[in-house]
Structures are given as C-alpha cells and as structure tokens.
Amino acid sequence: MTVDQALAFSIVMGMMALFVWGRLRYDLVALLSLLAAIAAGIVPPERAFSGFSDDIVIIVASALVVSAAVGRSGVVERVVRLFGPHLTTVYRQIAALVGSVTVMSGFVKNIGALAMLMPVAFQVSRRTGTSPSSLLMPMSFGALLGGTVTLIGTSPNIIVSRVREQTVGQPFEMFDFLPVGASLSILGFAFLLFGWRLLPKDRKGTVSMDAAFTLDGYTTEVSVPKESPATNITVKALEDLSEGDVEVITLIRGTKRRFDPAGNSVIKPDDVLILRGEPSALERVVALEKLTLIPHENLKDRDTPSDDIGIMEAVVTPDSELVGYSAGQLKLPDRHGLDLLAVSRTGRRIANRLRAVKLRAGDVVVLQGNLTAMPETLGELHLLPLAERDLRIGRKGSLVPLAVLAVAMGLVAFSIVPVAVAFFGAAVTLLLTRSLSLREAYDVVEWPILVMLGALIPVSDALRTTGGTDLIAGWLSQTATALPAYGALLLLMAAAMAVTPFLNNAATVLVMAPIAAGFAGNLGYNPDAFLMAVAIGAACDFLTPIGHQCNTLVMGPGGYRFGDYWRLGLPLSVLVLLAGTPLILYFWPL
C-alpha cells in the first residue's frame, strides 16, 4: 500500500466515522473530507471543485424541481382521490399507496414521489382511522424499490451509469435497469402487502407546524370559471370532494345570495362561493376544481415580479388600523399592495364577502403581496406575522408539469439528449410556464445533498486515481476466489447494502462503484452485473432512517424509532439479496 493509498483510505474511513457519529451534518462532513483530501495532496487543487459541475449534481437538482412541480399540480392527488372511497381496509390502502409510489418512483425521483403521496396517506389515515405508522414506512420502502426501475429513479443509478461510461465507454441507458428493478419491485410490493404487520401500531408522529394553530378554519371567497370542473355539480358534491373538510357557507349568483345553500343546489359558471376550511383543504379544492380567488384579480395591474409575490399569515392586533374596517373600506391593494385572501375568526362564522368583512382584533388573516416589502407593511399596520407555513391557496391544477416530464422522459428514452440536458430543460420550462416560481424552486432543491455530492465526487475519485479501488478489488477478489459467480455478486451487493446506512446511498455508490468495476476486471467478469449489484444494494437501504432521505422523511410523521426499521427492513433486505442476485445474473450474464 502506497502513502497516497493510505491517505485516501484514512480520509474515507474518517468520513464514514463522522457519518456514523452523527454530530456533524453530512454536507459538512463531505466538505471536511474534500478539504482533507486537498491538504493531503490526493486531490489536485485544479480538480477540487470539479464535482460541483458534474452531471449528477445537475440531474439531481433538476429532478427535484420537476418532482415538486408535478406534486403541486394537483393531478396526482386527483387521480388517487378517485380510488379513495374504495380504500376501506389496510390491505387496500397499502396496495394503493405503496403501488402508486412504487410506480411513480420509476419516473419521478423517489423522494419526490413519496412527498407527493404522503398528504394522501394522511387523508386516508384520518378518514379510516388507520395509523400512519402502518402506511408510511411501506410507502418509503416502495419508493426505494421503484427508484431502481429507471435511470432517473434514484441517484445511485445515475452515478453507476457514469462509472460504467468511464469503465467501458458507454453509460447505462434509461431503461437498462427495468428488468431487474421491476422484478424486485413486484416481489417487494407483494412482501409489503403483508409485511406491514411487523411494524409497531398506533405510533404518534410529530406534530406539524400547521397543527400548532388552533384555528376554527379560514373563510375565503372564490369565483367559478366556465372551465371549472365544479360547474353544474351540486354543493354537496363539491364538499364531498374535500371529504367534508371544506364547507360552502354562501352561494352568490348575481344579486342573489343563498346562506347555507342546500346540498342539492347546483353550482353554475360565474357563481361566487364563500368557502370555509383549513388552508390545506381549501388549497386542494381550489386547485383541483380550478376555482379563482376573487382577490387575485387585483394582482393583474401590479409591477411586482410574480416570483416575489407570496402569502403570509398575520394576527390583527388591537392597535391595528384594520380593526373595525373592511378590506374594501381600507383599499388594501391600492394603499398597501396587499390582497386579503382569507380570514379566520374564533367563535363566529363569516358568511359575507371578504371585502365587506369588518376585521376584529384577534382575527387571523391570509395576505398576499410582495414578500420583500410585506414585513415592513405588516409592521406599519400593526399586524403580527405568524410562523411561516407552506400556504399555496389559489394555485390551480395543471397538466403542464406532467406533459413536460413526459417529453423529458421521451427524449432520454430515445437517446435524443443526455439525461442532464433533458431534466435541466424540463426544470427551466416549468419555471417559464409558472408551474413553479423561482422562489419555490430554490426552496425545493436540497442544497445539502448537492453540496455533499459535489464534495464527495473528487474524494471518491481519489480512491481510483491513487489505486485504492484496485487494491480493495484485489482483496475482494481473493475472498471471492473460492466462491461461485453467484456468491461473488451476492458479496458485493451485501457490502453495498451494509455500507449505505452509514454513508448515504449516493456516497456509497461513489465509493463502491469503481471498486465493483475493478473487482469484476480482476475476476475476468463483465462489469455490468457487478455495477448493477452496487446500484441495487445502495438503493435498497431498508435498515436505518439515515441511509436514504425517504426513510428520514417518514420517521417523524410515522412516529418511528431507529430500531423500527429493522423490523420490516431486514426481511425485505434478505429478499432483495436472494432474489436480486439471480435476476442480475439472468439479465446481465457474466
């Protein structure tokens, strides 16, 4: 072992130790590892920051933007909602939710697919009484399995494709992962359909910020455009779409008003509805039924860039000049650049149009305006801003994100453009079409993950350039000399699966994929099967909440503890090892 190899191994082992220790965040650990590699001389200064321009970073960031746009379009929720009345048992709920997230994860980054369907899982849980702890971990594991189906489903596949290009001159194509990934996804889905019983029951998840607001519900005012799906349906049908979470308080048609309209009252185009409900429920109804918030009309003549327009909640204090006046009387849009979108008032139901509601001290209002100027404006009006919540009342559903995603997938599938270009183009297109604002795009991009990837790429490459990967491949080769091809492949997949909980799946592949290529070369085998084994092993982290973001994402809401992941994850890991090895050998012969 040379000095440079010893330094490379020491840095990687120290990095793994810091990951396990957990006191420093993973992106900081990656930056420290890069700094140490530069100081040790195993990463040349001119190559130190090459990782931040790597295609992997662009693909992951773009995929997150595309996923967020698809999730916020409301289309996925509308499709799942069609099956809601049939999800009466846990088995049906598991089948629908895990099946949906597994299929979606092949075409949308798996954490994005999981984030889209988690709100649906909570709705199903609330309606049927099923504990979220029975649903969320199977959904997370389904998302991990689904990510193995295509090139863009999960980061390990993208990284392994890059290593294959460096090794044999040709990357993996979009659907090269399909035969093995789809087979494992079907087997895993069948296991999760019954394996959920291994999980603890009735665990209570962490309380969200939304739950901290003990409000009686917001009142907002919407108009019904001609193209809205809500036209010519009854009031009861509209309320049923929200599963009872939104109530139609008043129906206004021309000069006629119906307070507490009958359930069989038919909604007509250009009707004005006064709705009452929680922000998330109002958001769903407004988006899915393509309703228009009345105050939005005031934004048309503003000079404020649309990306700077946002929503904040505030409490009306006794000293506020709003007390005793309505938004119409105060001319909020003209004088202060604010639109009143909704009002919540404890102890009284609001049935009047918003511009006519006289505000009181203690009212909670939802205001829309220029986010840059809004804090100062709220101070001038003596309004107390509440803690920030992700409010998107007024966003309309759209098929544009799905169409853009389909085009990007087609361009990649037919090898017209590279993955990075296709998804970068998709992200830019979605920003241009206002499917996602720039502010929202910056919010959804997980910068710590990108920083970790950018920093670890040159560090992991240092193992290769110093000959460290060849050295490890030699050790593994000696271990595997007495093993058949099946055993050698199983050994490598198990090694990747064992390292992932401590490194992070992307970091695992950055370290293990070059080793796998060298390992296969030493044994005289085709490297494809071994690279595929690393991708599957790194993607299928079912043992801890820290190896993959999907598992981390469900830990708090599901009320899981660290050891809960072993209950369901260990047998699933064994299934993947035993079934994945022959599947890889069959589709990627040595």
Give the Cα separation of 284 and 255 in Å (integer).
28
Q: Give the rounded percent of residues in the chain with a pLDDT score beyond 70.
A: 86
Residues 6+ positions from 342 with CB-CB distance below 8 Å: 218, 219, 220, 279, 282, 354, 365, 366, 393
Give the Cα separation of 175 and 157 in Å (integer).
11
Strand partners of residue 258 = 251
Residue corresponding to tokens 């453009």: 417
Q: Cα(first)–Cα(last) distance of the chain, in Å?
A: 30
Choose the most confident range, by mean pLDDT, from 116-130, 354-368, 537-551.
354-368
Minimum mean pLDDT range among 77-86, 156-165, 441-450: 77-86
Look at residue 459 and tell me whether its pLDDT is greater than 70: yes
pLDDT in tens, 276-311: 887 767 877 887 788 887 764 444 445 555 556 777
Residues 6+ positions from 1 with CB-CB distance below 8 Å: 9, 471
Which CB contacts under 8 angstroms, 24+ apart, belong to 117-123?
117/76, 117/80, 118/553, 118/554, 118/557, 119/77, 119/280, 120/77, 120/80, 120/81, 121/93, 121/97, 122/557, 123/84, 123/243
Contact present, 34 and 391 (Cβ < 8 Å): no
Look at residue 583 and tell me whether its pLDDT is greater than 90: yes
Contact present, 181 and 544 (Cβ < 8 Å): no
Give the Cα separation of 575 and 553 in Å (integer).
24
Give the Cα separation of 576 and 290 in Å (integer).
43
Look at residue 210 and tell me whether its pLDDT is greater than 50: no
Q: Output 551 or 78, whichever has higher pLDDT.
A: 551
Amino acid at 381: L
pLDDT in tens, 78-99: 666 666 667 778 888 999 899 9
Contact present, 554 and 560 (Cβ < 8 Å): yes
Position 213 scores a pLDDT of: 44
Look at residue 114 and tell me whether its pLDDT is greater than 70: yes
Q: Within 13 Å, how many C-alpha atoms sit on residue 409's CB side?
A: 18
Contact present, 169 and 219 (Cβ < 8 Å): no
DSSP 213-233: -----EEEEEE--TT-TTTTS
Angle (deg, nearest 10), helices 155-168 and 505-523? 30
CATH topology of domain 210-297: Alpha-Beta Plaits (3.30.70)
Cβ atoms within 10 A of the Cβ of 302, count?
14
The reported pTM is 0.63
Choose the most confident range, by mean pLDDT, from 62-66, 137-141, 467-471, 557-561.
137-141
Look at residue 1 and tell me whether its pLDDT is greater than 80: no
Look at residue 318 and tell me whether its pLDDT is greater than 90: no
pLDDT in tens, 482-529: 778 788 889 889 888 887 765 667 777 877 888 888 778 877 888 899
> What distances in angstroms separate CA 283 from CA 338, 363, 366, 583, one per listed residue?
19, 20, 13, 45
Classify 9 as helix, strand or coil: helix
Q: Choose among 371, 394, 422: nearest CA to 65.
A: 422
Q: Output 437 or 99, whichever has higher pLDDT.
A: 99
Position 214 scores a pLDDT of: 44
Q: Where are the domains of the chain?
A: 210-297, 306-336+351-385
Reduce the secondary structure of 150-217 to three states and give it as a string.
Answer: CCCCCHHHHHHHHHHHHHHCCCCCCCCCHHHHHHHHHHHHHHHHHHHHHCCCCCCCCCCCHHHCCCCC
Look at residue 395 and tell me whether its pLDDT is greater than 90: no
Q: How does residue 266 score in pLDDT terms, banded at 50, 70 and 90?
A: very high
Classify 35 as helix, strand or coil: helix
The superfamily (CATH) of domain 306-336+351-385 is: Regulator of K+ conductance, C-terminal domain (3.30.70.1450)
Strand partners of residue 342 = 220, 366
Position 292 scores a pLDDT of: 83
Residues 6+ positions from 58 with CB-CB distance below 8 Å: 420, 423, 424
Look at residue 444 and tell me whether its pLDDT is greater than 60: yes
Q: Choose among 564, 507, 571, 561: nearest CA to 538.
A: 507
Strand partners of residue 343 = 219, 365
Q: Output 134 or 77, whichever has higher pLDDT.
A: 134
Answer whether 210-297 and 306-336+351-385 agree in fold.
Answer: yes
Q: What is the largest CA-CA distance in the chain?
A: 88
Burial 84-111 (b: 16+ CB within 10 A, else e): beebeebeebbbbbbbbbbbbbbbbbbb
Position 110 scores a pLDDT of: 78
